Amino acid sequence: MAAIRTKPDPQIYTFEGFGSSRYPNLMLRGAGELDNWRLQVYTRKWEGYEACRKALKMEPAAVTAEVKASDLRGRGGAGFRTGMKWGFMPKDTPERKVTRYLVCNGDEGEPGTFKDRAILEYNPHQLIEGMIIAGWAMQCRTGFIYLRGEFSWLIDKLEAALQEARDAGYLGKDILGTGWDYDILTYRGAGAYICGEETALLNSLEGRRGEPRVKPPFPASVGAFGQPTTVNNVETLAAVAPILRMGGAAYAELGTPGNTGTRIYGLSGHVKRPGLYELPLGLPMDFILNDLGGGSSTGRKIKAVIPGGSSAPVFDAKDFDCPMDFDTVKARGSMAGSGGMIVMDESTCMVQALLRLTHFYAHESCGQCTPCREGCNWMEMILHRIEHGQGRPADLDLLASLPPRINMRTLCPLGDAACGPVESFLQKFRPEFEYHIEHKSCMAGAKSILPGVLAPA
C-alpha cells in the first residue's frame, strides 16, 4: 500500500474577499478538496475544458494573441512575457521537418517555493487544459510534464488525470474533431535542483545529466530532442485556461499595468499562518505578511523576508511596504521570483540562515562552470568558519569579493542565484557577521537552527 495523504492540505487559507472579483481564485480553485482532481469535479464545478473548446475553435495565432493581450508573465521566476515566448516558436516550418514540443516545468525545488505542488495535487486538469491550449497555439505534437523526482507520490494522480482527459477525448488523436493529434507524457526527474533551469531540464528529459546548455541556440529553435520547444512553469500554464475563459483583456485588468493577473504567494518560516495565497500582483508585502499571514508566529518582530524564493536578495524591515510585482520588487533590489516568501524573525541568526542557503547552492551546483562550482563552495567554507567561531577579520571582504566573480560568468543562473543572498545579507546585516567574527558568538543569541552536516562537530 502506498503512503497516502489522508487529509486536506492544511496550508491553504482563505480570507474575507477571497474569491471575489477583487481577489479572484483562478488557480487554487478547490485546493484542499480531496476529490477536486477528478475530471467530473473539474467539469461540473469549474467550467472545466470550456476554455479548451473555445481555443480549439480559434486560429492558433489568435490564441497566442489572447495570451499576449493578457500580458501574462512567466511565474517560474524570470517573469518573461508568456505570449512573447510562445511567439518565438517557428510557425511556418512544415511538420515533416520539425516536431514542436511543449514542456511543463514542474521541477519545483527552490526553498520557499511550494505553489506548483498544490496545482498538481488539487487542480491537475487545469494544468492539462492549459497545456492543451498552449499546445494548440504553438501546434505542438507532444507535451511533457517534467516533475521533480521527489513528487513521486503525485505522478500516479497526474497519470490518472491524464488518462481521464484521454478518455474524454481532450488528448490523443483528432482532439474534439479538429484533426489535431496531441498527447502529454510525464517525466520524473531524480533530485537535482538545477533541472529547474530550462536547458538543464531539457537535458534531463533527454535522459542525460541535468547540465545547462549554452544559449543560443535557445530552446525555441533547438530544444528537446533537437526540436523547437517551449518551456513554461506549472503556474503559468495553469493560468492559461482562465485567460481564455475570461478573455485576455479582462485578465489584464487584474493586478497592475505590466504585472497583470493573479499569482500564488507561498508564506513560510516564522509566520503565523504559513501557506499559499493567490492574489493579484502589486499588493504590498506587509499586507500579505500581516493581514493574511498573521504576522510573526513567535511574537518577536519580523527581521527579514526573502521575497521570491531563496535566490532572491533579502529584504529588511524598511522594504516591507514593497508592492509585490515583478518590476517594483526588482527596482527595490530583489526579485519577485517564484513568489515564495521566507519570513525570519529577529531571533534568526543571519549567518546561519545564509550558511544554510549557501550550502544548498554549493550542493546543487552541477559542477559544469568553474566560477559556480568553486565559488559556491568557497562562499560556504568562509561562512562555515564564521559561524563556527573561526572567522578572520578579512573574511567579510573576501566573501564580498566572490559574487562579482561568479555573477554572469556561468552558463545558467544558479551561480547568480547563490550570489543574491550573499550580497544582500552582507549589505543589510553586516553588523551580525562582524559580531560573529569578533565575539565568536551570535548577536541574535538564539539556539542554532543548523542541522546535521552544517552543525559543529
Q: What is the DSSP letter of 25?
A: -
Q: Using the rule CB under 8 A, which residue among 74, 76, 87, 112 binds other proteins?
A: 112
Q: Residue 287: count other Cβ atoms within 10 Å of its Cβ.
A: 15
Tell me whether residue 253 or residue 374 sits nearer to other proteins (CB atom). 374
Q: Which residue type, as a one-letter code, is found at position 89?
A: M
Q: Which residue type, as a one-letter code, is found at position 406?
A: I
Instruction: Determine how β-strand 229-233 pairs with β-strand 101-106.
Output: parallel
Q: Is 8 in the site for other proteins (CB under 8 A)?
A: no
Task: Outline where 234-332 has alpha helix (H).
Answer: 234-238, 240-246, 248-252, 285-286, 326-331
Tell me whether residue 110 or residue 197 sits nearer to other proteins (CB atom). 110
CA gyration radius, the chain = 22
Q: Shortest approach of other proteins to residue 296 CB, angstroms?
A: 11
Q: Shortest approach of other proteins to residue 192 CB, angstroms?
A: 5
State how far the Cα of 89 lies from the Cα of 74, in Å rounded to an integer.
16
Tell me whether residue 237 or residue 353 sits nearer to other proteins (CB atom). 353
Tell me whether residue 111 or residue 333 sits nearer to other proteins (CB atom). 111
Question: Site map for other proteins, 422-451, x if CB under 8 A?
Answer: --------------------------xxxx
Q: Using the rule CB under 8 A, which residue among 364, 387, 423, 432 binds other proteins?
A: 364
Q: Using the rule CB under 8 A, which residue among 61, 185, 249, 408 binds other proteins?
A: 185
Q: Is 363 in the site for other proteins (CB under 8 A)?
A: yes
Q: Is 270 in the site for other proteins (CB under 8 A)?
A: yes
Q: Shortest approach of other proteins to residue 144 CB, angstroms?
A: 9
Q: Shortest approach of other proteins to residue 289 CB, angstroms?
A: 14
Q: Using the rule CB under 8 A, which residue among 99, 221, 256, 290 binds other proteins?
A: 99
Q: Using the rule CB under 8 A, which residue among 30, 87, 242, 274 binds other proteins?
A: 274
Q: Which residue type, as a one-letter code, is found at position 275?
A: G
Q: Using the rule CB under 8 A, which residue among 42, 86, 114, 136 binds other proteins?
A: 114
Stretch that binds other proteins, among 42-50, 180-188, 323-331, 387-395 (CB under 8 A): 180-188
Exposed / middle / buried, residue 94 (Cβ in 10 Å: 0-12, 13-18, 19+): exposed
First CA to last CA across the chain, in angstroms?
39
Question: Site map for other proteins, 186-225, x if CB under 8 A?
Answer: -xxxxxxx----------xxxxxxx--------------x
Q: Is 86 in the site for other proteins (CB under 8 A)?
A: no
Q: State the DSSP H helix or E strand holding residue 232, giving kind and residue range, or none if neither.
A: strand 229-233
Q: Which residue type, as a one-letter code, is found at position 60?
A: P
Residues 297-356 within binding reach of other proteins (CB under 8 A):
310, 340, 342, 344, 348, 353, 356
State how far the Cα of 207 lies from the Cα of 426, in Å rounded to an integer.
39
**What are the residues facing 275 on neighbouring strands?**
267
Q: Is 148 in the site for other proteins (CB under 8 A)?
A: yes
Tell me whether residue 80 or residue 153 sits nearer to other proteins (CB atom). 153
Residue 209, phi-psi category: left (phi > 0), alpha (psi -120 to 50), beta (remainder): beta
Q: Which three cell numbers stand for residue 315?
A: 529584504
SS3 sequence, 150-217?
A: HHHHHHHHHHHHHHHHHHCCCCECCHHHCCCCEEEEEEECCCCHHHHCHHHHHHHHCCCCCCCCCCCC
Q: Is 76 in the site for other proteins (CB under 8 A)?
A: no
State how far the Cα of 370 lies from the Cα of 344, in Å rounded to an integer.
32
Q: Which three cell numbers stand for residue 324?
A: 509585490
Tell me whether residue 150 or residue 374 sits nearer to other proteins (CB atom). 150
Task: Outline where 3-151 has alpha helix (H).
Answer: 39-46, 50-56, 60-70, 82-87, 115-122, 124-138
Q: Using the rule CB under 8 A, which residue among 108, 235, 278, 387 binds other proteins?
A: 108
Q: Shortest approach of other proteins to residue 269 CB, angstroms?
A: 5
State how far the Cα of 305 lies from the Cα of 87, in Å rounded to an integer.
36
Tell me whether residue 394 or residue 455 sits nearer to other proteins (CB atom). 455
Number of residues that bind other proteins (CB under 8 A): 68
Q: Shortest approach of other proteins to residue 83 CB, angstroms?
A: 28
Residue 43 backbone dihedrals phi, psi, to 5 degrees: -70, -45
- The residues that touch other proteins, with contacts defined as CB under 8 A, are 1-5, 9-11, 99, 108-114, 116-117, 148-153, 185, 187-193, 204-210, 225, 227, 266-270, 274-276, 310, 340, 342, 344, 348, 353, 356-357, 360, 363-364, 366, 448-453, 455
